[in-house]
Structure 1
Amino acid sequence: MKNNWLAFLLALAVSGALPILHAEEAAAGGNNTAGKDKASSCAGCHGEDGNSMMPTFPKLAQQNSSYLIKQLQAFKEGSRNDPVMSGMAMAVNDADMEDIAAYYSSQAISANPEPTLPVDDDAADGVAAENEAKEAIQTLLSTGSNLYRNGNLTSQVSACIACHGPSGEGNKPATFPALRSQHTDYLIKTLTDFKSGTRSKNTDNMMYMITKKMTDDEIKAVSYYISTMK
């Protein structure tokens, strides 16, 4: 039944019946100017405009406002835990959340540098090693693209496109996050945390059900690919 439901979501997304909105739309009722002031304490980790410079901290710029509000509420209520964010969320009320979400959703997300893989410095032929690394990253991105768009029928891994959109823009009404141009390291950590149950103890959580079927190599590949989406 769960697999049929996920397949149904994919069909809706591809057909256009599932409403997909762009993340830059501001939160209804939120105030950008007020949100900028209220988000000042977030800048240390997430950047002044929501573009974190640290690869393990998520970019919040151009994120769907509904998703940002949902996550702040989860931190405040305790259904999602983080030593820093749980404390930060306790200090904001519903109006603050809407304003902060409105501000971040109105900011443009920064593009990531072209991804690379380490070159074997000990290789006898440096040029060959560099070419091998370039070929490896292209293979990784190709694998990630296929997983994002088609999933893995053999292992029943659902395609990411069903919930997160053709361009990684997410789905604002469904509170599905935008993923495009997110940090690779953060994506890998998040998917790994879903897979291990660290992110959610709910075994009916959609992301837990999907990631538990993914290999570490698949998580790496799709994370690298998503980081290149614009």
Structure 2
Amino acid sequence: MTRKLLTVSISLALASASGYVHAQGNASAGKAKAASCAGCHGEDGNSTMPSFPKLAGQHQGYLAKQLHAFKNGSRNSPMMAPLAAGLDDQAIQEIAAYYAGNKISANPAPTLPAGDDDDAPAKTEEQKKAELAALIAQGSDLYRNGNLSREVSACVACHGPYAEGNKPASFPSLHSQHADYLIKTLTDFKTGARSNNRENMMHMIATKMTDEDIKAVSYYISTMK
């Protein structure tokens, strides 16, 4: 019995090691194939431009799903479609493995954008800090509790307490993502410009969110690590 258990343990260990080496190989190949992505998403998947998403640390399955969506047209993007069109299934998996294996960078402390009303009196630094703190607190409450009166679901239910996502369900990791990109994404779900998610779930949630809700929760998520 002991010998059988030992044999099984060794077999499992070898299988695990083989899987690890295979994953590492995929990531290495993916790094080379992702070179053309660096201009927008950063060399390691940490985009420095707020309008382009960070890909580092995202779940491999979710990244692969989005690349397939760009390729088959179910997710509309004039910029990404031609890039994804030239990728076969193996290249998609390798690129996704590369980005998934990298660590997402934390964002600098957020600042509120300048207001559109030029005639409004200038705000003091203390007023700006108080406004930002209130916005992030609003976003935190919405992320964790939703809004019952408007039937806005809590983000935590699908994306986790630390915005780490849910790998088996293909719900993406969100923490440390750029606030500007999150605002655009939620707005696209709200307007229907983006709809490639399970049962159009995000559209149904986002349509019940105000622009202030979207801004607040995006700013809050951007501060999560």
Shared fold (TM-score greater than 0.5)?
A: yes
Give the equivalent residue in structure 2 for 1:141.
Answer: 136
Task: Give how far 1:119 is off.
Answer: 7.0
Give the equivalent residue in structure 1 for 2:78.
Answer: 83
Q: Is 1:189 matched up with 2:175? A: no
CA RMSD of aligned residues (A): 2.4
Give the equivalent residue in structure 2 for 1:163.
Answer: 158
TM-score normalised by the chain length of structure 2: 0.84
Q: Is 1:199 matched up with 2:172? A: no
- Work out which of the residue numbers 32, 41, 50 in structure 2 matches 1:37: 32
Task: Give how far 1:204 is off.
Answer: 4.0
Unmatched segments (≥5 aa) in structure 2: 1-19
- Name the CA distance, whole Å, in 2 between partners of 1:177 and 1:221: 19
1:57 maps to amino acid: F
**Going by fraction, where is helix more abundant, 1 or 2?**
2
Does the 8 Å CA contact 1:31/1:102 hold for their aligned counterparts? yes
Could you tell me the percent identity over the aligned residues?
Answer: 64
1:108 maps to amino acid: K
Aligned length: 204
Name the CA shift for 1:168/1:202 in 2 (closer, same or farther; >3 Å): closer
Q: Is 1:150 matched up with 2:154? A: no
Deviation string, structure 1 residues 30-63 (Cα, Å, up to 9, x no partner): 7111010010011011000001111100000000
Deviation string, structure 1 residues 163-213 (Cα, Å, up to 9, x no partner): 111111111111111000000100000000000000128894000000000
1:105 maps to amino acid: A
Specify the SS of the correspondent of 1:154: helix
- Name the CA distance, whole Å, in 2 between partners of 1:188 and 1:211: 11
Name the CA shift for 1:201/1:46 in 2 (closer, same or farther; >3 Å): closer
TM-score normalised by the chain length of structure 1: 0.83
Unmatched segments (≥5 aa) in structure 1: 1-24
Does the 8 Å CA contact 2:69/2:196 hold for their aligned counterparts? no
Larger of the two Rg values belongs to structure = 2
Give the equivalent residue in structure 2 for 1:214.
Answer: 209
Give the equivalent residue in structure 1 for 2:170.
Answer: 175
1:43 maps to amino acid: A
